[in-house]
Chains A and B, each alone.
Chain A
Amino acid sequence: MTITKSDIEHLCGLSKLNLDDDEVPIYLQQMTDILEMIEQLQSADTNEIIPMAHPLDMHQRLREDIVTEANHRDIYQKNSSHVEEGFYKVPKVIE
């Protein structure tokens, strides 16, 4: 599977990453190597095999519908520098 520069750009767009111009060729080469290694999977015979999403054969536990969380806004918001009147602030979203 060959990966191109515009593929990298597209992937960066989806995952919100910037790469410097001089980084791109390096990433492109490394990604090419990685994808080549991953390609080995295609030779595995997985006919009729169910995908394994979890190591254990378990089902989801359910929790009772009770409110146990208190308001800790002031403590939590200590970790952000851009808070005003209790709101988180981000560059303006244009819709």
Chain B
Amino acid sequence: MERFTVKAIQNMLSDKQISAAELFDLYRSRIADYDQSLNAFITTDVLPNTAYMTDDQDQESPIDFALTGIPYAAKDIFCTQGIKTTCGSKMLENFIPPYDATVVRRLKTQGAVLLGKTNMDEFAMGSSNETSYFGSVHNPWDIERTPGGSSGGSAAAVAAGLAPIALGTDTGGSIRQPAAFTGITGLKPTYGRCSRYGMVAFASSLDQAGILALSAEDTAIFLESMAGFDPLDSTSVEESVPQYSQYLEENIKGKIIGLPKEFFDGSLGSAYEALIAESIDSYKKLGVVFKEISLPNIGYSVPTYYVVAPAECSSNLARYDGVRFGYRSQNIEDLDQFYRTNRQIGFGQEVKRRIITGTYVLSAGYYDAYYLKAQKVRQLINQDFARAFESVDIILGPTTQTAAFKLGEKIDDPVSMYMNDMYTISANLAGLPAISHPIGFVENLPYGLQLIAPHFKELDLLNLTHQYQKVTDWHQAVPQLLQSSEGND
């Protein structure tokens, strides 16, 4: 079974090797055949976006938009008009939004075709896709392992070839970590680059919509259509959107990449370190220059995040009270118990834990010591990056501590789970764009490498990654699950 890239699909469509309708059916039957073992999708009975499709591959295609006929999957955190949007939660199990998220609307306008809504950690809270009300997602490389989270469904779907590309969200690493665990490319754009309107909020100052894809090239193609100012989102930025796909071939010779000494303190396994060293060599061969830098406050990333994100989420999730939408218990006569029961039953454990943590750090007597303190430390981390970027163009580091861990391994130990995000969180705190791309395998499990750029320099991330992917083929490795299947498509 072949995993088609978006680029390949564009060629196939324009060469009329296949029609958009056939392509849609192809992916739909793959999902039907293989998703049982992965549980990557929550909703798949989505009607095709027929405006852009014809059944007959000989017919003239309709007006070509940037993404005409390209199928994609969307994390179930993006509101899709008329299509159930659950956020992986019982609370929104039957919620059908009457509106599209802005990024979904933009992709729709460019002719992209939604295949289905992917599974995710509940309300984007988790790093293993084990907190979903709809069951855990399995990693196509080893179904006993997690694909990462919270965009686990999107990552598994793309890695397994069930969708050529997928939308995800990244608040503390929820695109990059699953990309690393499943051997694909995941991009978190600059905060404010993509609109958050219609993207259910977890932590408002950290959330960003992003892409999980098979290559930097595919990522660039989709990002062009997704990104851009939205008047409906006060935090979206009026920065022009470059034609990212035009920058992929820019010369990277002489680019300076910083290696933060705090990221390379010997705590990574030697096998992973070796992979990173190899990829650094590959970049050196492409003319990139490396330099040691320091991000002295980076060690505070995880505690900072686990104050700020729960605080914001405890407030963002207060609207889920069962009154206007969402899970609602019957026959409760007391208003207080009504709220409490709806939320007790509607929310899972991790969500409740974060709400309680968030309420705590904002409460009277603790606000200064926790929330205010965390926002100050956040400033320190931001300043560290700003200082580093004065002397380097890009920062490189690991994406994760380890490869994908086994399902059930960390779910009872929240702090251990939280530490998963230690390399990815700082980019969210500073609002910086960051990408993870595959760099090899250890014991048949994929590993990723992370690149972080200054604000609005997604161009450089995509450019570098694309050049790397031209001289390596880690991103083309296909999981066992698919290799053993004799698909007939």
The residues of A that contact B299 with a CB separation of less than 8 Å are 40
- Can you spell out 20 A-B residue pairs with CB atoms less than 8 angstroms apart? A16-B321, A17-B347, A17-B352, A18-B340, A31-B356, A31-B357, A34-B306, A40-B299, A44-B297, A49-B376, A51-B372, A52-B376, A52-B379, A53-B375, A56-B235, A63-B231, A82-B328, A91-B333, A91-B334, A94-B335
A59-95 residues at the B interface, CB under 8 angstroms: 60-61, 63, 72, 75-76, 78-82, 88, 90-94
Shortest CB-to-CB span from B228 to chain A, Å, is 14
> How many chain A residues touch the partner (CB < 8 A)?
52
Contact A54 B205 (CB under 8 A): yes
A41 to B431, CA, bound (A): 20
Shortest CB-to-CB span from A37 to chain B, Å, is 5
Binds A, one of B38-46, B121-129, B358-366, B473-481: B358-366
The residues of A that contact B334 with a CB separation of less than 8 Å are 91
Shortest CB-to-CB span from A47 to chain B, Å, is 9
A33 to B321, CA, bound (A): 29
Residue B430 at the chain A interface, CB threshold 8 Å: yes
Contacts beyond the supplied A30-B414, A35-B357, A41-B303: 20 A-B pairs with Cβ under 8 Å? A14-B359, A15-B355, A15-B356, A16-B343, A34-B415, A36-B415, A37-B415, A49-B379, A52-B376, A54-B431, A56-B191, A56-B431, A58-B192, A78-B98, A79-B96, A82-B323, A88-B323, A88-B324, A90-B335, A91-B338
The residues of A that contact B328 with a CB separation of less than 8 Å are 80-82
Contact B333 A18 (CB under 8 A): no
Residue B27 at the chain A interface, CB threshold 8 Å: no
The residues of B that contact A18 with a CB separation of less than 8 Å are 337, 340-341, 343-344
Shortest CB-to-CB span from B348 to chain A, Å, is 12
Which of A14, A16, A60, A75 touches B363 (beta carbons < 8 Å)? A14
CB-based nearest B residue for A53? B375
Residue B392 at the chain A interface, CB threshold 8 Å: no
Residue B382 at the chain A interface, CB threshold 8 Å: yes
B346-386 residues at the A interface, CB under 8 angstroms: 347, 352-353, 355-357, 359-361, 363, 369-370, 372-380, 382
A40 to B235, CA, bound (A): 30
The residues of A that contact B205 with a CB separation of less than 8 Å are 53-55
Which of A3, A40, A50 touches B379 (beta carbons < 8 Å)? A50
> How many chain B residues touch the partner (CB < 8 A)?
69
Residue B300 at the chain A interface, CB threshold 8 Å: yes
> Which 6 A-B pairs have CB atoms at the shortest separation, nearest pair first?
A55-B431, A51-B375, A79-B325, A46-B376, A18-B344, A16-B339
Contact B379 A41 (CB under 8 A): no
User: A14-B359, A44-B300, A91-B338 are contacts. A52–B382 as well, Cβ < 8 Å?
Assistant: yes
Contact B234 A15 (CB under 8 A): no
Residue B336 at the chain A interface, CB threshold 8 Å: yes
CB-based nearest A residue for B305? A38
CB-based nearest B residue for A44? B377
Contact A44 B431 (CB under 8 A): no
The residues of A that contact B363 with a CB separation of less than 8 Å are 11, 14
User: A16-B336, A56-B431, A91-B334 are contacts. A38–B306 as well, Cβ < 8 Å?
Assistant: yes
Contact A41 B370 (CB under 8 A): yes
Indicate with 1 or 0, residue by residue over A4-32, a CB within 8 angstroms of chain B CB atoms. 00011001101111110000000100110
Most chain B CB neighbours (cut-off 10 Å) among A39, A41, A78: A41
User: A14-B359, A17-B344 are contacts. A52–B335 as well, Cβ < 8 Å?
Assistant: no
User: A15-B359, A30-B353 are contacts. A93–B303 as well, Cβ < 8 Å?
Assistant: no
